[in-house]
Amino acid sequence: MNGMYVIFKKELAGFFQSSLFYFLSFMMTILLGIMFTTSMEKFAQSSSNAMLQFGVTPQALNIHYAVFLPHLSIVNLIFIFLVPALTMKLLSEEKKVRTFDLLLTSPVTSLAIVMGKYFAALVTILALIGVSFIYLVIARRVFEFDWGPTLVSALGIFMVAAVYVAMDLFASSLTENGLVSFVLSIVFNLSVWFVGALNESFDSPNVKAVLEHISLNTHLAGLIEGTVRTNGLIFFFSLIFLFCFLTERVIESSRWSD
C-alpha cells in the first residue's frame, strides 16, 4: 500500500477522532455566528432604506461585499491561529515521543511522510471551511444570491489556508516542542501579511513591485473580486511547494545528524 496514503489516513483519523478538531470548530462557529448575524442585520437595515441614505457606496448594498466577504475574512483571521493549533503536533510530537524512528525505518520516503501529513491537514481545513459555509447555506434558503463570487472568494481563503498549512508544517518540523512550533507558525502566518505592508517603506519602484508580488494580499484581492488569475494561483502553489520542500529537507536531514 502506498506509504503516503497510509500516513494520510492515519493523520486524518487522528484529526477527526481527537476532541481538538471539534473544540476548534465549536469556537469557530461561536465567533462566526456573532459576526455573521450582526453584519447581516446591518446589511438588512441599509438595504431597506437605501433610498433615504445619502452617500452609501454600491458595495455596501451588495451582499457579497457587505456580508460574505467580512465573513470569510474572519475565517481567515481565525485560521491564522487555528491552523497552527492543528499542525503544531504533526511533526514535533513525532520527534518528541520518538515515533519518528518508526517512520524513518519504514519503507516510506520523506516526501511521502510530508505529503501524507500535508493533505490530511488540508482536508481538515477544508472541513472547517465547510463548517463556515453553514451560515451561507442557511442564508441561501432565506433568499436568492449568486454562489459564483462567494465560491471563488472561498477558494482564495482555501489557498491562503493551504499556504498556512505548508508553512506551519515546516515550523513543526523544526522543533520537538509543540508550543515553540505553535508560536513560530503564528509568526509565519502573520508575516506573509506584513510583507505587503513593507511596500510603503521603500521608494524604489522595483522593490515595490517585488514586494507587491510576494504579498498574499495582492493575490487574494483578485480572488475576492471573483476573478481567478493564473499568476495568483502560481504564487500560492509555489509557496506551498517551497515550504513542503523545506520540510522534506528537514526530515531527510535527520538521517545525517545525531
**What residues line the site for another protein (CB under 8 A)?**
1, 3, 6-7, 10, 14, 17-18, 97-109, 255-256, 258
Minimum CB separation of residue 1 from another protein in Å reads: 5
6 versus 152: smaller Cβ distance to another protein: 6
Minimum CB separation of residue 84 from another protein in Å reads: 19
Decide: 82 and 164 in contact? Cβ < 8 Å: no
Q: Inter-axis angle of helices 69-96 and 19-48, to 10 degrees?
A: 170
The CA distance from 148 to 224, in Å, is: 11
Minimum CB separation of residue 100 from another protein in Å reads: 8
The CA distance from 237 to 159, in Å, is: 8
Using the structure block, give the residue that is written with the C-alpha cell 476532541.
Answer: 19
Minimum CB separation of residue 107 from another protein in Å reads: 4
Which pairs from 149-153 meet CB under 8 Å and 24+ separation?
A: 149/64, 149/68, 149/225, 149/226, 150/64, 150/68, 150/72, 152/223, 152/226, 152/227, 152/228, 153/64, 153/68, 153/69, 153/72, 153/223, 153/224, 153/226
93 versus 212: smaller Cβ distance to another protein: 93
Minimum CB separation of residue 243 from another protein in Å reads: 24
11 versus 168: smaller Cβ distance to another protein: 11
Minimum CB separation of residue 10 from another protein in Å reads: 5
3 versus 226: smaller Cβ distance to another protein: 3
48 versus 105: smaller Cβ distance to another protein: 105
The CA distance from 152 to 190, in Å, is: 23
104 versus 123: smaller Cβ distance to another protein: 104
What letter would DSSP give residue 147?
A: H
